[in-house]
Amino acid sequence: MRFYMSMRYRHRFYRDEEGDELQDLEAAQEHALATARDMIRHTRTQIIRDWFDCTFEISDDSGRIVLTVPLGDTVVDRENGGFDADVN
């Protein structure tokens, strides 16, 4: 299936025109989280000041949003002992 991972940052919207061929919705979510980790780790931009204010809006070929993935989801609970940025 082809999934499109457009990004919403506050009032701005950046449409993914190409999409990615992925097996299913779970694979799309994992791909979005991996992409988010990479962007947080390596990308600096004047347009997006806080990556944690961003959300991937994942849509299918029909344009229907099937999943939203906040970039803050890259922060995980380490066995209920606290939160760490899972960006390694």
Tell the burial category of 34 from Cβ atoms under 10 Å away from its Cβ (0-12, 13-18, 19+): exposed
| Residue pLDDT, tens place only, 20-58 | 999 999 999 999 989 888 887 776 666 666 777 789 999
Task: State CA 35 to chain mean position distance.
Answer: 6
Instruction: Dig out the tokens for 8 from the structure.
Output: 């919403």
* The pair of three-digit structure tokens given for residue 48, joined into one six-digit string: 């997006």
Work out the pLDDT band at 10, boundaries 50, 70, 90: confident
The whole-angstrom separation of Cα 71 and Cα 31 is 12
Q: What is the pTM assigned to this prediction?
A: 0.73
